[in-house]
Amino acid sequence: MAVAGLAAAVIAVLALLAGVHRYLWRRFVGDTTARGSALRRAGTVAAYVLPLLSVGALVAGRAGAPFWLQRVLAWPGYLWLAAVLYLTLALLVGEAVRPLLRRALAGRANRTKGAYTDPMPTGGAPFTPPSHGANPLETTASAAPATLVADAPAPGRPDAPTRRLFVARAVGGAAAVAGLGTVGYGTYGVLRGPRVKRITVPLAKLPRSAHGFRIAVVSDIHLGPILGRAHTQRIVDTINRTQPDLVAVVGDLVDGTVADLGPAAEPLARLRSRQGSFFVTGNHEYYSGAAEWVDQVRELGLHPLENARVEIGGFDLAGVNDVAGESEGQGPDFARALGDRDRTRAAVLLAHQPVVIHDAVAHGVDLQLSGHTHGGQLWPGNYLADLANPTGAGLDRYGDTQLYVSRGAGAWGPPVRVGAPSDITVVELASLRA
């Protein structure tokens, strides 16, 4: 039954993608190019090749393809997925504009038609000039009435098919500029690197000695076939400039194996903070070999918190494995991480997914730091992120526990962010004790 449901879902998704690509072809190619033209042939080839590249990018890693092939497929394949979204949205807006533009052009054509109409004198037939050699005094009453110029196409007036072509090209061109421009700007935002965001979180149990303690929170770096060593170095440099007391890497560091991405992660060894750097797994670590990555980050100088905690100054820092680890018997264990601690001390929990907030509340956590959602990454995905998670991004409160969700420092799939800029957040803890 589960297999049949999965197969039905896959078929439905493929049918939807096929329908969307048919729509894109019709609006961008079929409506704007001549049959048999080179442009139509090129557009038709692209309509088949680009979605195949996207499918290849999505399945190459899971299929065990060589890493070089994953990289070849990733850029065009993933970028096309983002382009499909925003080209489709732009065309849907264009559908509302299309009839208005046609009406405006028709009105203009009618006005142009009237400008070429010769007025008929009241009460008489139109004047017809005499032919060469005719007696100018002869009456013209018997002459056939002249045809009004307006009854024929006016000079320069587009006929209906030309007007439709103009509208199709105008709407398609505007949609292409809007859709591809959005993807380009979103790609620039990812490749530029995350920006620093600063928030202050008051904790009732935090002692005065820990007032102002700063935690640099980074999540969802997503090293892979697109984002590599240079991306890691930008993140490390940005974190080090904030001079934090502690660095918290809250999951989804990688999309690939240690063998392929170990060199890309090496700059993490240069993270600098007063109390060290700590790491918890995300769901993508369990798709990439979590045990190997835990060992790898430990070699790079990070401290993995696998359902464990440490005392940091005036508070406890705990970390739990991601819920995806349950498939390997390595899921979150709150009792092990928090069960026997002194609840008079403040507790900060690192947990990749916000959905475990209710377990954090039950175990007396004061602040949970999470990622996973990307803030939706691609608008309007933020609405889906809000539906699927207790908090999509930012700071929220659940009982006596506060939850902060970072939008992440990288991107999954398309290296594009729209409406959800990447961030590294410096969380400054504030004591409420006098």
DSSP label of 21: H
Q: Please, are residues 271 and 236 in contact by the beta-carbon 8 Å criterion? A: yes
Q: What are residue 308's phi and psi, to 5 degrees?
A: -145, 170
pLDDT at 51: 95
Both structure tokens of 305: 């918190």
CB count within 10 Å of CB 6 equals: 10
- The pLDDT, as a whole number, for residue 85 is 97
pLDDT at res. 433: 80
Q: What local confidence, expressed as pLDDT, does residue 146 receive?
A: 39
The token pair that represents 177 in the structure block: 């500029």
* 3-state SS class at 193: coil
Question: How far lies 222's CA from each of 12, 16, 241, in Å?
Answer: 28, 27, 21
The pLDDT score that the predictor gives to residue 141 is: 39
**Which stretches of 116-228 are DSSP H helices?**
160-192
pTM: 0.85
* DSSP secondary structure string for all residues of 108-120: HHHHHHHHTPPPP
Residue 73 has a pLDDT of 96
The mean pLDDT values, 10 residues at a time, for the chain of 434 residues are 73 89 95 93 95 94 92 96 97 93 80 57 46 43 38 46 87 96 97 96 95 98 97 98 98 96 98 97 95 97 97 94 94 94 95 97 97 97 95 96 98 97 97 80
Please name which of 183, 167, 187, 174 lies closest in space to residue 90, comparing C-alpha atoms.
Answer: 174
Say what the pLDDT of residue 434 is: 54
Q: What is the pLDDT of residue 13?
A: 83
> What would the two tokens of residue 186 be?
């979103």
Q: 394-398 and 367-370 as β-strands: parallel, antiparallel, unpaired?
A: unpaired
